[in-house]
A and B are shown apart, each in its own frame.
Chain A
């Protein structure tokens, strides 16, 4: 040790020099936070995802129709019913749990409001964890079907597991009302119990693409996708929708779980696009956005509902500024956001509003005297009314009659 001590000291000095190079260039933040270590970095505290515009498939703005009154799960409080149960199936643990929890919380909020208002009609919610794993879903599905107290299902949450267990619910005639599975093929199976409470990827893709090309006038867009069911499908729709504007030479693919995107960033940097569209979830989207910005790419960052989560802004920080995030989901009304925050100590995330609306629709059905599965499917099939996010009315396939896409921007 005697011999190595001066060496260690010397090299520590060199290390310090190395770090000094890093320190040299650290810049002050835009918000000009003070320099004490206990200061908050600021900036991102003010950044949040703000609704910008609602668009149709041509990318043109459609004014949000605020004339109707959204359905209230509380009803008039006079409903009476036998105790029934609504099931919720989705990933509640595992890497994709965030979306499932958003949905569960949104639905719980609606049901609690209902139960508090209607002492003679107590509806309970049962949660079923699929971990987002198709095989787990096949184990969960028979349990849901076999539980005769369950008359409606909110879910499944992901497209993959819906593909695996859709036939189970169809055969059982159990209403399957999804707040998040957006794969377009799901409604092509002839399932008469399956309803989607939001626009599918085949609507979202072209709408966003049209908005980027027609309204924002982007001429060159790099489409980057992750390897999830959602990312692959959405990227395909976006690329088709963008047409010539999608540059295949800078299209890149990343993996779920990646945190470092050097190669994709370098390729994109070399191509100098107007915008980068990321088809995937926020866990990868956020570091990707910050690495793009760090390496000096000035293109607009565009992503969809998978990244449209408060976590995206938290993780990406300043790099999230001005990012466009589309979503088939409507903005959470203030009152909803406040209630949600109070109850779950978290801001409402993607699909929370949809889950609230869809649970409300089921509750309205129960209040109107529906007591069995077939009745609830019928009720939803003929439902026509406003929710917090949009107007709900379904076509015979199970798609919404008019589903519009919201464009949000981080400001």
Chain B
């Protein structure tokens, strides 16, 4: 046994986990900008988790697949517009590029929003009618996750003659080539990064206003706070639930466009899963059920993940995210801003 102890001591003495604060310091601003870019994508996906949780107390585990479908929606729209995959970025001129991106955005939103509502109809509504316990919902969501992934993996290529789906990632269609626009503290910021961060913030702002300042938003908040009373007061719970899934899906579709701008070759059937877990972590980090929490959590997680990679090494990326999730859940399960959709207001 002594040999084990000896070997063990040797291995442990040899640092297996690197620790390099210098790497973080050197690339701090570049990492921050990258982190914010990914963080805003996480944030948009996280809104979907948080709204559904706020209204239904349900972790919509299949939301990551809605995001994945959104990527295929964006890609499919570009194909319909006549773009063919190629190695280079297209040069369509500024107005046309914006137009095409806008159409792709709408395409992604329609696919993702539609499938989110469809998922709610097919999978969750029958369960709700039966008053099933929350574990049943979660297992259904896992099943739906499998179904959607495998649909894109095997069935979609057959339906589209191999143009969409399948084992390999989609061959990228690049509409925009990243170009450095300006630099802060030695870190350059590209056009795509600005576009993603700005658009995500704008969408987040719209969503926030929609929830907090419109009739529909009031309905959502009312159901989140007290479903029974809300129903008594004439709010249609079913409609609110549908609207919630729709908003989550639409934002996931937008996130899908931004993600494909940043990572054009990331469109693959398995591409939603890890991102979904990260986005969920972001929602929990900020306080699940809390809209602004989801945004804050997303940005925070995106940045922390990159800092963590710089300090510990790139292979620890997912570990950083998961450990963060576990720590938050253990010490502050309500997240940074606390969990409540009903009370989150301006």
Report which A residues bind B (CB closer than 8 A): 1, 3-4, 7-8, 11, 14-31, 33, 35-45, 47, 95, 97-98, 227, 249, 252-255, 257-264, 266-267, 269-270, 283, 286-287, 290-291, 294-296, 311, 313-320
Contact = CB atoms under 8 A, between A and B. Distances in A.
B87 A318 contact: yes
B175 interface: yes
B169 A317 contact: no
B265 A21 contact: no
B314 A267 contact: yes
B313 A4 contact: no
Given A18-B198, A21-B191, A263-B310, A95 B210 contact: no
Interface string B91-115: 1111111101110010000000000
B38 A43 contact: no
B172 A98 contact: no
Given A33-B90, A98-B168, A283-B169, A255 B315 contact: yes
A50 B96 CA distance: 36
Interface of B: 23, 26-27, 30-31, 34-35, 38, 81-98, 100-102, 105, 167-169, 171-181, 188, 190-192, 194-195, 198-199, 202-203, 205-206, 209-210, 213-216, 261-266, 268, 270-271, 274, 306, 309-310, 313-315, 317-318
Contact of B100 (A3, A37, A45, A249): A37
Query: Which of A18, A252, A283 is packed against the most chain B CB atoms within 10 Å?
Result: A18
Contacts of A35: 91-93, 96
Contact of B206 (A7, A313, A318): A7
A26 B167 contact: no
Nearest to A46: B87
A290 B265 contact: yes
B86 A287 contact: no
28 contacts: A4-B210, A4-B214, A15-B202, A19-B97, A19-B101, A21-B181, A22-B191, A25-B181, A26-B90, A26-B92, A26-B97, A27-B91, A29-B89, A37-B83, A41-B85, A254-B315, A255-B315, A258-B317, A260-B262, A263-B317, A266-B30, A266-B306, A290-B172, A290-B265, A313-B87, A315-B172, A317-B86, A318-B87
B98 A95 contact: no
Contacts of B176: 22-23, 25-26
A1 B216 CA distance: 7
Contacts of B101: 19, 22-23
Given A16-B98, A316-B87, A262 B34 contact: yes
Contacts of B175: 26
A97 B154 CA distance: 13
A144 B205 CA distance: 61
Nearest to B200: A18
Contact of B34 (A18, A23, A266): A266
A247 to B, nearest CB: 13
A31 B35 CA distance: 34
Given A22-B191, A25-B178, A26-B89, 6 more contacts: A18-B199, A26-B90, A42-B88, A98-B168, A254-B314, A316-B87
Contacts of A33: 88, 90-91
Nearest to A29: B88
A348 to B, nearest CB: 16
A15 B203 contact: yes
Nearest to B309: A263
A43 B92 CA distance: 16
A283 B90 contact: no
B187 to A, nearest CB: 9
Contact of A14 (B191, B202, B215, B263): B202
A28 B94 CA distance: 11
A97 B176 CA distance: 32
Contacts of B34: 262-263, 266
Contacts of A294: 177-178, 190
Contacts of A8: 206
A320 B265 CA distance: 13
A3 B209 CA distance: 10
Contacts of B92: 26, 35, 37
Contacts of A20: 94, 98
A252 B314 contact: yes
A125 to B, nearest CB: 22
Given A255-B318, A267-B310, A40 B263 contact: no
A317 B209 CA distance: 41
A266 B186 CA distance: 12
Given A18-B202, A26-B94, A283-B169, A260 B266 contact: yes
Contacts of A31: 88
Contacts of B202: 11, 14-15, 18
A75 to B, nearest CB: 35
